[in-house]
C-alpha cells in the first residue's frame, strides 16, 4: 500500500477531530484557565493567577455540603437503579416476544422524551396539591399532605425514573450474550430456579450492572433539570450551584472551578471503574 492509502483514515477523521478539538477540548482547557483568575465583583474576571477558588471549595463548609449531597444523591440513585433495574431487565428477557416489545417501549421509550417533560410529571405527582397526596388524603391514609417537593427523597425518586432505563438497557445487553445452555446445565444438575439465578445468571451480568451503574452515577452527579425543578433553591447540587454562580452571581471563575472539580471527579470515577471492569473481564474470560 502506498502513502496515500496509509493517510486515508486520518483524512477521513480530520473534520470530526477538528470539530471536537475546537468545540470540546479547547473550551474545556480555557475553562480550566478561567478558574484560575480572580473574581472582581462588577467587572467579573480580574487580572493575575490565583488558586483561591479551589481553596474556597476545599475549605468552605457550604461547598462540602453541596458536594456531599450531590455524590450521596448519585450513589443512592445508582443503588436504587441496580435494585429495580436488574430484576426488570431479567423479567423483560423472560416475557413472550409480544409483551416484551410493548414493555420495551414503555421502559426504554422515556429516554427519548425530554427530561423537562418527565420532571414536570414528577412535579405534578409530588406536590402538596399533587396526585399522590390527594389520593392518600382521599383514602384517609394520611391527615395532612406529605412534603415531597423540594426534598432529597423527591429528587431521588425523579432521578431514578429519569435514569433507570440506562440500567435496564445495560443489563439487558449482557443478558442477550448469556448462553441459555449454562442455565439448562445447572437445572439438569439439580439446581433450583433461585440457585440458577444467583449462581449462574447474576455473575454473568455483573459487567452489565457495572457499566449501567457507571452511566447512571455519572449522569446523576451531573443532572441539572431534575434537581433544579424538584429540589429547588434550597436543595442545591453541584450543577445547580455552577448555574447560580455563572448566571446568577456572574462569578465565572468560581463557577469554572466548581465545573473543573465536578469534571475531574466524574471522569476519575468513570475511568477508574472502566479499568476495574476490564481487569475483571480478563480474569473471568482468560
Partner 1 sequence: MNHKLSGNRWPLRAFHAAFVVFMLAPLLVVVLVSFTDKGYIALPFDGASWRWYRAILAAPDFIDAFWRSLALGAAAATLATVLAVPAGMAIAWHRFAGRDALLGLLLSPLMVPHVVLGIALLRFLTQIGASGSWWGLTAAHTVIVLPYVLRLVVAAATGFDRSVAQAAQSLGASGWTVFRRVELPLIVPGVAGGWLIAFINSFDELTMSIFVASAATQTLPVRMYNHIAHTIDPLLASVSTVLIVLTLAVMLVLDRFYGLDRVLSGKA
Q: Could you tell me how many helices (H) and strands (E) the chain has, helices first? A: 14, 2
C-alpha cell at 189: 444438575
Residue 31 engages partner 1 in binding (rule: CB under 8 A): yes
Binding segment toward partner 1, per CB under 8 A, in 28-36, 52-60, 61-69, 74-82: 28-36
**C-alpha distances in Å from residue 51, one per residue of 37, 194, 249, 256:** 8, 56, 19, 12
Burial of 231 (0-12, 13-18, 19+ CB in 10 A): buried
Residue 231 engages partner 1 in binding (rule: CB under 8 A): no
From 209, 229, 235, 254, residue interacting with partner 1 (rule: CB under 8 A): 229
From 56, 270, 273, 277, residue interacting with partner 1 (rule: CB under 8 A): 270
Q: Looking at the chain, how many residues does it have?
A: 286
Rank residues 13 and 65 by Cβ distance to partner 1 and give the closer one: 13
Backbone φ and ψ for 44, nearest 5 degrees, come out as: 100, -100
From 82, 161, 186, 235, residue interacting with partner 1 (rule: CB under 8 A): 161
Q: Bridge-partner residues for 44, per DSSP?
A: 40
Rank residues 68 and 101 by Cβ distance to partner 1 and give the closer one: 101
Assess contact for 217 and 269: CB atoms under 8 A. Answer: yes
Residue 255 engages partner 1 in binding (rule: CB under 8 A): yes
Min. distance of Cβ 153 from partner 1 in angstroms?
15
Min. distance of Cβ 105 from partner 1 in angstroms?
6
Q: Chain-centre distance of CA 147, in angstroms?
A: 25
Rank residues 28 and 284 by Cβ distance to partner 1 and give the closer one: 28
Amino acid at each position: 500500500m502506498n502513502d496515500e492509502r496509509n493517510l486515508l483514515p486520518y483524512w477521513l477523521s480530520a473534520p470530526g477531530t477538528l470539530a471536537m478539538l475546537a468545540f470540546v477540548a479547547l473550551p474545556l482547557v480555557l475553562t480550566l484557565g478561567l478558574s484560575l483568575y480572580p473574581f472582581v465583583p462588577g467587572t467579573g474576571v480580574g487580572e493575575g493567577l490565583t488558586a483561591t477558588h479551589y481553596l474556597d471549595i476545599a475549605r468552605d463548609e457550604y461547598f462540602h455540603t453541596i458536594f456531599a449531597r450531590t455524590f450521596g444523591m448519585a450513589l443512592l440513585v445508582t443503588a436504587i437503579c441496580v435494585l429495580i433495574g436488574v430484576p426488570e431487565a431479567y423479567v423483560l428477557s423472560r416475557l413472550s416476544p409480544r409483551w416484551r416489545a410493548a414493555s420495551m417501549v414503555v421502559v426504554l421509550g422515556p429516554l427519548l422524551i425530554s427530561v423537562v417533560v418527565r420532571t414536570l410529571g414528577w412535579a405534578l405527582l409530588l406536590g402538596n396539591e399533587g396526585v399522590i397526596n390527594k389520593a392518600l388524603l382521599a383514602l384517609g391514609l394520611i391527615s395532612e399532605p406529605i412534603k415531597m417537593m423540594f426534598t432529597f427523597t423527591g429528587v431521588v425518586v425523579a432521578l431514578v425514573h429519569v435514569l433507570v432505563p440506562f440500567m435496564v438497557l445495560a443489563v439487558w445487553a449482557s443478558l442477550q450474550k448469556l448462553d441459555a445452555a449454562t442455565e439448562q446445565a445447572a437445572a439438569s444438575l439439580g439446581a433450583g430456579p433461585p440457585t440458577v439465578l444467583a449462581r449462574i445468571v447474576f455473575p454473568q451480568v455483573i459487567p452489565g450492572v457495572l457499566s449501567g451503574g457507571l452511566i447512571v452515577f455519572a449522569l446523576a452527579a451531573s443532572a441539572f433539570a431534575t434537581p433544579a425543578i424538584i429540589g429547588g433553591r434550597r436543595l442545591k447540587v453541584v450543577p445547580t450551584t455552577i448555574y447560580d454562580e455563572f448566571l446568577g452571581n456572574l462569578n465565572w471563575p468560581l463557577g469554572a472551578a466548581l465545573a473543573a472539580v465536578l469534571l475531574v471527579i466524574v471522569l476519575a470515577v468513570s475511568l477508574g471503574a472502566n479499568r476495574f471492569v476490564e481487569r475483571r473481564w480478563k480474569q473471568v474470560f482468560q
